Amino acid sequence: MPGTGRKTDKAPAPYNAVIFSIGVSFYPDHGRNFSFLFEKADEVMYHAKRRCKNRYYIYKEDAPET
C-alpha cells in the first residue's frame, strides 16, 4: 500500500555532526541551591569532555577528583 512505508534519505554531504557532553546534578541530593547544583553539574560536564565526548556524567559526592 502506498504511504505505509518508511522513507529514509541520507543527508547530503557535507553535514554537521552534533557532539554533546552533559553534567547532571539532582536537587536536593547534590545541593539545595542553584549555584551549588550548577557548579557540580559543570564539574562533571568537564569531566565528560576530558574523558570522551558524547557522554553524560552524574555528580557523585564520593567520586575521586581528576
Q: What is the pTM of this model?
A: 0.65
Report how many domains make up the chain.
1
56 forms beta bridges with 22
Residue 13 lies in a domain: no
Residue 63 counted as domain residue: no
Per-residue pLDDT in tens (0 to 9) along the chain, 66 residues? 455 566 667 767 777 788 889 999 999 999 999 999 999 999 999 999 998 888 999 999 876 555
Q: Domain range spanning residue 45? A: 21-58
Instruction: Examine residue 66 and state whether it is found in any structural domain, yes or no.
Output: no
Residue 42 lies in a domain: yes
25 inside domain: yes
Residue 16 in domain: no
Looking at residue 63, its pLDDT comes to 61
Is the dihedral angle over the CA atoms 55, 58, 60, 66 positive or is it negative?
positive
Quote the CA–CA distance of 37 and 23 in Å, as a whole number.
10
Query: For residue 49, what are the contacts with CB-CB under 8 A and spacing of at least 6?
Result: 21
Whether 39 is in a domain gets the answer yes
